[in-house]
Structure 1
Amino acid sequence: MTNYETLKIGILSDPTTSNWLKDAVAKLDKRDPCDVIADIEMLNFLSNVRLQDLGIGAGAKISLSAIQERIFPGTPLLGHST
């Protein structure tokens, strides 16, 4: 199983994953990965502008390693050699 498939299954089976994200992840295989990245970057930009407008500030950071640890506890970070 590839890293992508393993992560996808983990995200879809994680009860803390929002239904919105589960729906988006379930549709990934039908989209061009480059188009997905472009859309994600636009959503990130739009969300940061929304945060600024709310006075919260832009640049909220999400720890991908913390998310991975929650879904796959005790596993080495994907993309890093052990």
Structure 2
Amino acid sequence: MREIIQPVLTGRGAPLRQYEYLLITVTHGESVPTAYQRLREHAEYGKWELERSTLYMGGERKYLMRRKVLRVERTLDVY
């Protein structure tokens, strides 16, 4: 199983509604219940939501998960 997190644009001028993406790849030899358990753990503890799942002809599966990036701006100026 392979997991890849894609970077997010940050700073001023970045789009207001931005998501962070996680791509989980499961090969044809790995069990599907184990993959589902991994997806559930990411959703529960990491606040990820499943956006897309793809099944390829060779039996490989790819799951694209996303979560909203919360941007916090400073409200107090500390000198």
RCO higher in 1 or 2 (8 Å CA, sep ≥ 6)? 2
